[in-house]
């Protein structure tokens, strides 16, 4: 398989600060790849290297089959940047913004007009096509931004936190649009700190921490890798709670003596629940409530990434 992005042992320092310390990354064509990391983890640096905006110190990086440092022009022809790199001109209408990009990409006047109409329809911008972008809502602007990045469909689209600040309906619309782009064969590299966004959109995720990929896989793989399901036992009185703690002393429980809860790791099967509840009943320590807690990407993120990166910035 030829990957759209192939990065091996990539390193980058700013002065004495090592920002990327041997990053490996492979992204298959037509997939959405989520790059997760706390502030300062190195996400922007990696994107800027792949987009040929800055150089790197060691390793290799290829985009759409082209070496990023030796063939930057070919790489630039294959990529498109959105999000914080957006090119929307607020003084122009949606139609004018799209036509401007089309003309810059050397489409003829007739081709530009046709492509603009097509994109206005596809990105649901038809009714506001002739309004200036200053009057747009966040969701409308985000859709225009995406439409502009698709004037000449790129092989690789960089998306930076595409739904920050959007209400749930607009957010769902942008997510659907991004999925559609991937379905048409565009490869998407999504950088985000929003785990729900990565969970919804990404086929695979890499977690970057301290300049290294510390975990990679599908969202489901990462969740099972970090934490299995947990049974939460909640108690109303301290005596029963302590009795339960004693009864489960050989199990790896996480106890919260303030909330009077016990989190017990579980594989979620009815048999394992029955054994647990039988043990508690025998000790006269049944809880007043039992809940199942499936791991989220938040658990993955909190478990895998260091909490103090922001302090190093």
- Which residues of the shown chain bind ligand ATP in the complex (CB under 6 A)? 14, 17, 19, 37, 39-45, 193, 313
C-beta separation of 48 from 55 below 8 A: no
Question: Nearest distance from residue 97's CB to ligand ATP, in Å?
Answer: 26
Q: Give least dist CB 38 to ligand ATP, A.
A: 7
DSSP labels for 270-288?
A: HHHHHHHHHHHHHTT---S
How many other C-beta atoms can be found within 10 angstroms of the C-beta atom of residue 152? 14
Structure tokens belonging to residue 203? 């086929």
Helix (H) or strand (E) holding 220, with range, is helix 219-226
* Nearest in space to 161 (alpha carbons), one of 89, 82, 106: 82
Nearest-angstrom CA–CA distance, 20 and 178: 28
Q: Whose Cβ is closer to ligand ATP: residue 45's or residue 99's? A: 45
Q: How many Cβ atoms sit within 10 Å of the Cβ of residue 156?
A: 22
Least distance between ligand ATP and beta carbon 300 (Å): 17
Calpha distance 6→72 (Å, rounded): 15
| Least distance between ligand ATP and beta carbon 39 (Å) | 3
* SS3 category, 185: coil
């Amino acid at each position: 398989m030829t990957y759209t992005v192939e990065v091996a042992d990539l390193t980058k320092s700013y002065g004495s600060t090592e920002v990327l310390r041997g990053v490996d990354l492979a992204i298959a064509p037509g997939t959405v790849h989520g790059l997760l990391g706390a502030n300062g983890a190195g996400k922007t640096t990696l994107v800027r290297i792949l987009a040929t905006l800055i150089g790197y110190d060691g390793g290799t990086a290829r985009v759409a089959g082209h070496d990023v440092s030796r063939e930057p022009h070919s790489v630039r022809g294959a990529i498109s940047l959105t999000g914080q790199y957006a090119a929307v001109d607020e003084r122009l209408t949606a139609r004018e913004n799209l036509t401007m990009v089309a003309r810059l990409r050397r489409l003829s006047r007739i081709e530009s007009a046709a492509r603009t109409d097509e994109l206005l329809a596809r990105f649901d911008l038809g009714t506001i096509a002739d309004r200036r972008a200053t009057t747009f809502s966040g969701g409308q602007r985000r859709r225009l931004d995406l439409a502009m990045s698709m004037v000449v469909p790129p092989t690789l689209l960089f998306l930076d936190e595409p739904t920050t600040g959007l209400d749930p309906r607009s957010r769902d619309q942008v997510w659907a649009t991004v999925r559609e782009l991937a379905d048409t064969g565009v490869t998407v590299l999504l950088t985000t700190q929003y785990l729900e966004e990565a969970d919804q959109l990404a086929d695979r995720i890499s977690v970057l921490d301290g300049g290294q990929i510390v975990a990679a896989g599908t969202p489901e793989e990462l969740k099972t890798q970090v934490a299995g399901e947990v049974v939460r036992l909640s108690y109303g009185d301290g005596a029963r709670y302590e009795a339960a703690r004693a009864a489960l002393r050989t199990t790896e429980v996480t106890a919260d003596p303030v909330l009077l809860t016990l989190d017990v790791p579980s594989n979620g099967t009815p048999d394992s629940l029955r054994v647990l509840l039988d043990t508690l009943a025998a000790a006269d320590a049944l809880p007043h409530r039992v809940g199942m807690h499936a791991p989220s990407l938040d658990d993955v993120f909190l478990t895998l990434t260091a909490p103090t990166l922001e302090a190093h910035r």
